[in-house]
Amino acid sequence: MSLDAAFARAAELDANDSLAHLRSHFDIPEDVLYFDGNSLGPLTFRSREVLHRTIEFEWRERLIRSWNEDWLAMPARVGNKIAPLIGAAPDTVIACDNTSINLHKALMAAVALRPGRTEIVIDINNFPTDIYIAQSVADQHNMKLIAVTADEIIGAISERTAVVTATHVDYRSARILDLAGITAAAHANGALMVWDLAHSAGAVPFNAAEHDIDFAVGCGYKYLNGGPGASAFIYVAPRLLAESGQPLQGWWGHSEPFAFEVGYRPAEGISRFLTGTANVLSMKSLEAALHVFEGVSMQQLREKSVSLTSLFVELAQEHLVDKGFVIRSPLNANERGSHVALGFAEGKPLVDAMAAEGIVADFRPPDLMRFGFAPLYNSHVDVVRLINRLSLH
């Protein structure tokens, strides 16, 4: 297909896109093509408005009264907005801290629920912080960290395994891991499962309840568009909440934080996974950004995501492969998340050059260019414009 024909086809797809109107919620500069929502989602107009009100009214005028009037309830409220995006029941998700800290909490809680077991199994291609956190948990419990590739995870699980942890969508390749198979293998061996949803939440369906997931964590600043450093979240299965504990026993996780007791009594339910004071401005921005998802199903988001990435892969095969680009993401859309990775020897200088031109993507060493296609604001015409620019290199 010629690029002229591709532009015509993309325009038709955009004209029939039921989600196209959602782009108007995002304050993306007119001269920017943004393909890095898998690293940092763009600003929503609602986030700007809410932050302004939080600063000028809730903080400036109401001062400390805003804690009781609104802020204390935010972690649970925001968690319940995230819950349907990951297929979780109400009151099983809480917004707090960052992904690394929440992963530490989840792994420590899981290990405590499986005393006497000696191993943690992890995907060796996880984002490095996941590996660092898992290693620290293993070291603290004198356990062995079994780091294997995604295809080897199921075979590595045994009666010695306390917990298995992996990222649902690989941050490099965008490969979707075998959620059902890996989780079932963990449970069949009596182990618990912790999933990282950093590259799933808001773009790729994940059904925590259907798959009987034990724990899951994720961040709020990628496809959820909460802003730089936005609060992360943690999910805990309802059947585990009453018996789960976590190592960071701060006052917000106390049953009665304002009783100021010396002894720690964990709160009921998911609130026991809180630790310290919420970052109000960060969480306000995330809550505001989540408004865009109201009335939109994960199936709709997934269908558009697949359409965008499939168009990119098709055109990359026709126009880029013979120029030295290598498609490093799965060709099968059912196995691919919402970004596409291209290998290219001159990837870093090309990403930098395009950024200077207003076409924003990202790079991961040694040669990987990543292009995020966010169904809330990216269009099919955006995809063709990107292919056109890459083909000129």
Residue numbers annotated as active site: 127, 196, 221-222, 370
- Stretch (H or E) spanning 378: none
Nearest Cα neighbor of 177 from 161, 160, 154 is: 154
Element (H, E) at 164: strand 161-167
Both tokens of residue 37? 């929502």
The burial of 142, by beta-carbon neighbours within 10 Å (0-12 exposed, 13-18 middle, 19 or more buried), is given as exposed
Query: Is the separation of the CB atoms in 288 and 49 below 8 Å?
Result: yes
CA nearest neighbour of 166 among 143, 204, 139, 192 = 192
Q: Which helix (H) or strand (E) holds 114?
A: none
SS3 for 241-288, per residue? Answer: HCCCCCCCCCHHHECCHHHCCCCCCECCHHHHHCCCCCCHHHHHHHHH
Strand partners, 33: 359
Q: Are 387 and 319 in contact (CB under 8 A)?
A: yes
What are the structure tokens assigned to 209, written together?
Answer: 């309840």
Full DSSP string of 319-359: HTGGGT-EE-S-SSGGGB-SEEEEE-TTHHHHHHHHHHTTE
SS3 5: helix
Q: CA 282 to CA 264: how far, in whole Å?
A: 27
Residue corresponding to tokens 């007119």:
30
